[in-house]
Structure 1
Amino acid sequence: MDETWTSRDLPVLTAIVEVFERTGRVMRPTEIVEQSGLEADQVEAALRALEGEEPPFITKLERRASGGISLVGKPTGHARRAVGAWPTPESIADRLVSALDEAADREPDPERKGWLRKTAAYLGNAGRDLAIEIGATAINRQMGM
């Protein structure tokens, strides 16, 4: 079986988020075809694949009597995180490690530079779970949780 996430499903999901961001409304599959550059049958197949995901990627799919998809609902937070429009604990952890590396590059004090490098190396490797936990805490605080 061929892998479809990167070649079909993710581009369709990205197009759904982009169309919704631009228009603020639910969309027809033809709009997703235009945004993604994929063929209509590929978009239809991706929508069928994305439909059953839990948590859901889209709020609803409306179908014609023939079974074809006529309307695609708005993207969920799960969809926005999957395409990188919203942060995940992992993406925040990656940004934290990058920020520490960049701070080390700019730091003139050799001792502080060393500590920044060591911290970045730890959080990027053995301490990755801790960095992800920090990312999750940051997201939860931003959401008021």
Structure 2
Amino acid sequence: MESTWVERDLPVLNALVQQLDDAAGASFPELRDITEDTGLEISEITKAALALESAGYIDLSKTMGPAASWHVKAVSKEARQAVGQWPTAEQVLDRLVQRLGEAADQETDPEQQSRLREAANTAGGVARNVFVDVLSSVIAKSMGA
């Protein structure tokens, strides 16, 4: 079976997160509202939404009646992380390591440059799992979890 994440599911998730944020609680995005944003047919969007719901990324609901439609009431923090809206601990750590490396490149004091490189190597190397655990806790607390 072929992967659907990059071509179908992620673009649908991205469009849904964006529309939910744009609506700011005033309304819930309907699946048919994102056909233009994604370039996908409604049948593919529906398949993606059902897959995203089963994975816990979205809260999908169907309205009944003559104009029945699917809409998204909420998205999870994992959905926001998947589309890059919220950082994961790994992303924060990667950025920190990158910034430490940049700071070391710009440092003129050899001792300070050495310390910055050592900090970057430590954060990105053997201590990476410890840093990720700590950052995960910090991020979770900042999000009220």
TM over 0.5: yes
CA contact (8 A) 1:64 1:70 kept: no
Pairwise mapping of residues 97-108 of structure 1 onto structure 2 (< 5 A)?
97-108=97-108
Aligned partners of 1:104, 1:28: CA distance in 2, in Å? 49
CA contact (8 A) 2:60 2:70 kept: no
Classify 1:122/1:14 alpha carbon distance in 2 versus 1 (closer, same or farther; 3 Å). Answer: same
Instruction: Give the residue type in structure 2 aligned to 1:122.
Output: T
Classify 1:108/1:88 alpha carbon distance in 2 versus 1 (closer, same or farther; 3 Å). Answer: same
Pairwise mapping of residues 36-115 of structure 1 onto structure 2 (< 5 A)?
36-53=38-55, 56-62=56-62, 64=64, 69-115=69-115
Which consecutive segments of 4 or more residues in structure 1 shift more than 4 A?
none
Aligned partners of 2:136, 2:70: CA distance in 1, in Å? 37
Instruction: Give the residue type in structure 1 aligned to 2:21.
Output: E
Partner SS, residue 58 of structure 2:
coil
Classify 1:11/1:120 alpha carbon distance in 2 versus 1 (closer, same or farther; 3 Å). Answer: same
Higher strand share: 2
Instruction: Give the residue type in structure 2 aligned to 1:119.
Output: A
Note the aligned Cα RMSD (angstroms).
2.2
Aligned partners of 1:10, 1:60: CA distance in 2, in Å? 16
Structure 2 unaligned residues grouped into runs of 5+: none
Deviation, 1:144, is: 5.3
TM-score, normalized by length of structure 2?
0.84
> Are residue 9 (structure 1) and residue 13 (structure 2) matched?
no
Counterpart of 2:28 (choices 1, 26, 30) is: 26
Aligned residues: 142
Correspondence for 2:119: 119
Deviation, 1:142, is: 1.9
Deviation, 1:134, is: 2.6
Aligned partners of 1:126, 1:33: CA distance in 2, in Å? 45
Partner SS, residue 74 of structure 1:
strand
CA contact (8 A) 1:19 1:35 kept: no
Aligned partners of 1:92, 1:33: CA distance in 2, in Å? 33
